[in-house]
Structure 1
Amino acid sequence: MSFRCPTCRDPLAQETEHLVCRRCERHYPLVRGIPDFRTESGYWCNVSRQVLRELVDDARTSGDWRAAANRHVPDYVEHFTSRGRADFRFLLPLDRTSVVLDAGAMWGGITVPMAPEAGTVYAVDKTLETIEFLDLRAKQSGLGNVRVCACGLDKLPFQDGFFDIVILSGVLEWVAVDEETVLARDYFQPRHDRRSYGLAPERVQTDVLTELRRVLKATGVLCLAIENRYGLPYFLGKPDDHVNVRFVPLLPRRLANLVTQWRLNSPYRTYTHSDRALRSMLGEAGFDTVKVMGCSPHYIEPDFICNQVRARYYLRKHRHRLGRKYGLMSRLLPASLLSKTIPSFVVLAGGANGTQTEQAKLARVFDDAMAHKAVGPVRELALVDSRKGDDLPACFEVWTADGSVPSHFCKVARDPGAAAILKDECENMGRFHAACREPFGAVVPPQALVERDDVRMLIYRHLGGKVSTPKALYRGFLATRRLEHAALRAIELLCEFQRQTFQRKVRMRDLLTALDGWLARIGVLDAASAANVAHLREELERLGDRELPVCAVHGDFNLGNIMVCGKERYLLDFEHYEDTGLPFFDLGNITISTLLMAFDARVFLGQEHHRRAVALFRSWVSAYQKLSGIDTEVLRFLCPLAALEQKAKTYPAHRDPATYPMFPDPVFTKLLAPRESFWQ
């Protein structure tokens, strides 16, 4: 048995309903098979104990933890099931032999993604009910390498040097709080169970870190995630994440304590820290090497995780996602201050007695995969441009040499089932280049498709450019001009893409067959849409022998998939590529969808339409007509044909069709309108 007595650290013997220490004669109960090492019944959760108890009972009775969670805690399911929360695991020396401790595991949001790639994962928490739920979740998910127990973090039931990796994510700031905490209740109102404390919060936090250092191997790694006490959002008025009071983290501790005593009837004990304070605290706890990385907007759902020096670059790059005030301040603050006011930290600590920690998992796999290409060893990794969705890849930039510019860009599958998406993208790019009439430098193929050591990734040469979205372009001074220019350059790229993959021409009346297929997949239309489709059919018949080119279809041709590198443009993301199709779908994406994303879509649903949008659309279609040579009469039907094809497509399970701007019913109906509509 791996568990040890938390008091004397001797091995434990199992009896019917207890674990027994023969040396100090202490008994630790087994509660429904789960060891309980707590000295008092602590509770910390988003929901009340009663709701959590009902969830556990339902999950046990029904045998379906996810369905039970959707019934009892629907607002939190995405929070603890998203694998993206554990993207940092690729930065750790994790493999199938690793013994991992998830300290403060709660629902299992990190335990479950880590388990398939580790040897054994031990999940501990002071709340017995959440540990029961996690135990059921792991067993019902077929994860036989997850071990659970209820205990505090100040006395862990493990021997010295037992773990290769210890995770402490969003927990350190709470360890000094002993009151029963229900976030859904206590975050919004004063407490009525005020307690007295003997130890200062920093002392409790340091003691917990010292205990984690004890159970960690000399070559092991502690991964700590916590908010930055001096994070820029706090300066701009964001309430503290733990007590919901503005400016509290920034105040001197004694003054902050007076404020929370007055506002919440509770002392201030959820201490967060600056990077310097974290280094000092970890050093006092026995960690010799400490690497502090910046993270934004929050460690739970990070857009990026990278070293502090590079963090200021990524903060400015992603400023449009953080709100207007934050974006403005990220541009005005000096770089030295910006790296100190990043919202969250992810800290890797270890290396006791001068020993070196092992290489990060992703770096190890990358080096093995690229050894034959004479690429140097990985010097640094950064998680970048992270998007929600288990089927979407986590993206990393890789430095194989000193300098400010990464050498490679990697897409890494978060879930084993998502590896097929990366494989499809690799194969699609290969088919595209095979179909091109001549070399096409605007599409850069991957250098390697890798599947080893539980890592599935595509490796690209880093292009060093910038990707912009319509919303990011259409703001501030000269917004219309920037958006128009970006789309015109994209249309030039689209015309070259379609010229390179041209296959044959079809007559307009031949589109009636495609139209029938689309309508069969769409199903029943409302009366107005059906009338518009009937009118479209008549118009296609009238155009008769006018011709339209058949070419490849990118499938997601938008500004977000075009990287600008000086005067060069590169086309990215071939996940939805099709060998054969019509030019309308890609053209509709770069014109109609761009306008719908840049402007509020509601602008197009009323009688009055934005004159700038009208002018932009007409200039883009006119530019496309001149470059492509397609008949102007044919292009009059861009909107209905693009909308029908969009609506009829079969989407992968991970892609919500509603995320496509042309898909929602009000927009779709408007795009089907005859030529007297706004679009024509």
Structure 2
Amino acid sequence: MTNLKFKNNNFNVIDSDIFSFVSNNKNKIFDITNEDAKKFSNELNHKNWQEVAFDMYYDTNQWLYEIITDSNRSDFLFLLDIKKDDLVLDVGAGWGQISVPLSAYCNVVALEKYLEKIEIIKKIAKQEKCTNIQYVAANFSDDVFEPNQFDLIILNGVFEWISEFSIGENPLEIQRRTLDKIFELLKPRGTLYIGIENRFGLKYILGEADDHTGLEDFVYLDHNTQSLLYKIIKQKDLRVFTHSKKNYQTMLEDAGFHSIRFFGDLPDYKRIKTMIDLSNDYPTSFHKTNLEFIPEFNGYGGHFSILNEKIRHIYTALSSNEIKNLYPSYSIIARKN
């Protein structure tokens, strides 16, 4: 297993493969309660992880159950030229949906802010007989890694949230700085993968709720207007921002990345059924014959979108260049040097 290089020694080593830069973390875990995390972890000691997910969430939070168990979330991996000796950093590893299957092909580092989630991922990996994973409990913004050591860095459903964990600073500046940091962490010719929503996705323009705030007719507004409305409605600052295809391209280029490729994900990067290469004119012919079989959903609650019929008709009337800017989400691959 590849030796990780850290900028400091302010960490505890747990079971030889967990490097924890966090103290006893009393913060609320991102997508579940702390009590649920403890229960999930304990149940894994005598049940299969899919059975635990079913028992805990299928009836009470089916969207979360599907997010945890749907293997399609990692389907983008076939696009990447992954070698056995590569070292891959999975930022915000969540439930291990990417780290665990990826570890069959290379060396993986699963990074999570919460030690409780790290422990869950490790138990799931053990059940799947995956031993090629190292675990780091840290906030990515804490900058714990030495530069130039990763062949691939994955931000799957993470880039839009990165500012949430650095309260007080400008969220958009944090996103730009994150890309700069990733560029430094990658080896020469290293690769960055991002899975993320498109703020100008057709379903959002038609009024579908934003995946992160749950607000309708919201995410396509300019960022200043979003911030103002969110402050009025939620009585707190908006920290989560997505962008357009054009803006993602510009942000990556400004950070030094080249050979940037976009794929339109349907129905969404979180539960991929189809990935469409946007470097050619294929989207038009694909949509005219296949779109009705890939219904989109409300990414906040998980139910099928009531706008699907309208979305289908509009897609089939558009040109390829127009469709490219309207996908609900993208898989983005960018390279260093």
TM tier, smaller:
0.7 to 0.9
- Whether 1:258 and 2:259 are equivalent positions in the alignment is no
Alpha-carbon distance in structure 1 between the residues aligned to 2:121 and 2:213? 26
Q: CA distance change for structure 1 residues 318 and 283 in 2, over 3 Å: closer, same or farther?
A: same
Alpha-carbon distance in structure 1 between the residues aligned to 2:47 and 2:331? 35
User: Aligned pairs, how many?
Assistant: 315
8 Å contact 1:123–1:148 — kept in the other structure? yes
Listed one character per residue, the Cα deviations across residues 626-674 of structure 1 (whole Å, up to 9, x for unaligned) are: xxxxxxxxxxxxxxxxxxxxxxxxxxxxxxxxxxxxxxxxxxxxxxxxx
8 Å contact 1:295–1:311 — kept in the other structure? no
Alpha-carbon distance in structure 1 between the residues aligned to 2:285 and 2:229? 35
Alpha-carbon distance in structure 1 between the residues aligned to 2:285 and 2:114? 40
8 Å contact 1:296–1:315 — kept in the other structure? no
> Which residue is equivalent to 1:298?
268
Counterpart code for 1:66: Q
Deviation at 1:156, TM superposition (A): 4.1
Deviation at 1:70, TM superposition (A): 3.0
Q: CA distance change for structure 1 residues 296 and 316 in 2, over 3 Å: closer, same or farther?
A: farther
In structure 1, which of residues 62, 76, 80 is the aligned counterpart of residue 68 of structure 2?
A: 80
8 Å contact 1:124–1:150 — kept in the other structure? yes
> Which residue is equivalent to 2:201?
231
8 Å contact 1:153–1:211 — kept in the other structure? no
- Whether 1:143 and 2:130 are equivalent positions in the alignment is yes
In structure 2, which of residues 147, 163, 167 is the aligned counterpart of residue 176 of structure 1?
A: 163
For the pair shown, the structure with the greater C-alpha radius of gyration is 1
- Whether 1:3 and 2:15 are equivalent positions in the alignment is no
Gaps of 5+ in 2: 296-307
RMSD over aligned Cα atoms: 2.2
8 Å contact 1:319–1:326 — kept in the other structure? no
User: Which aligned runs of 4 or more in structure 1 are off by greater than 6 angstroms?
Assistant: none
- Whether 1:167 and 2:154 are equivalent positions in the alignment is yes
- Whether 1:203 and 2:173 are equivalent positions in the alignment is yes
- Whether 1:217 and 2:187 are equivalent positions in the alignment is yes
Deviation at 1:259, TM superposition (A): 1.3
Which structure exhibits the higher relative contact order, with contacts defined as CA atoms closer than 8 Å and separated by 6 or more residues? 2
8 Å contact 1:106–1:127 — kept in the other structure? no
Deviation at 1:267, TM superposition (A): 1.9
Counterpart code for 1:47: I
Deviation at 1:248, TM superposition (A): 1.6
Counterpart code for 2:100: V
Q: CA distance change for structure 1 residues 136 and 38 in 2, over 3 Å: closer, same or farther?
A: same
8 Å contact 1:154–1:207 — kept in the other structure? no
> Which residue is equivalent to 1:18?
none
In structure 1, which of residues 97, 114, 129 is the aligned counterpart of residue 85 of structure 2?
A: 97
In structure 2, which of residues 43, 55, 62 is the aligned counterpart of residue 58 of structure 1?
A: 43
> Which residue is equivalent to 2:333?
348
> Which residue is equivalent to 1:432?
none
Counterpart code for 1:101: L
Counterpart code for 1:71: D
Alpha-carbon distance in structure 2 between the residues aligned to 1:73 and 1:130? 16
8 Å contact 2:194–2:332 — kept in the other structure? yes
The TM-score normalised by the length of structure 1 is 0.44
> Which residue is equivalent to 1:316?
288
- Whether 1:29 and 2:23 are equivalent positions in the alignment is no
8 Å contact 1:104–1:168 — kept in the other structure? yes
Q: Percent sequence identity over matched residues?
A: 26
8 Å contact 1:43–1:127 — kept in the other structure? no
Counterpart code for 1:2: N
> Which residue is equivalent to 1:117?
105
Deviation at 1:109, TM superposition (A): 0.7
8 Å contact 1:161–1:214 — kept in the other structure? yes
Listed one character per residue, the Cα deviations across residues 469-511 of structure 1 (whole Å, up to 9, x for unaligned) are: xxxxxxxxxxxxxxxxxxxxxxxxxxxxxxxxxxxxxxxxxxx
Q: CA distance change for structure 1 residues 131 and 271 in 2, over 3 Å: closer, same or farther?
A: same
Alpha-carbon distance in structure 1 between the residues aligned to 2:170 and 2:241? 10
Counterpart code for 2:290: H
Deviation at 1:4, TM superposition (A): 3.5
The 3-state SS of whatever aligns with 2:164 is coil
Q: CA distance change for structure 1 residues 155 and 251 in 2, over 3 Å: closer, same or farther?
A: same
The 3-state SS of whatever aligns with 2:141 is coil
Alpha-carbon distance in structure 2 between the residues aligned to 1:111 and 1:93? 16
Alpha-carbon distance in structure 1 between the residues aligned to 2:73 and 2:200? 23
Deviation at 1:276, TM superposition (A): 1.4
Counterpart code for 1:214: E
8 Å contact 1:3–1:157 — kept in the other structure? no
8 Å contact 1:121–1:147 — kept in the other structure? yes
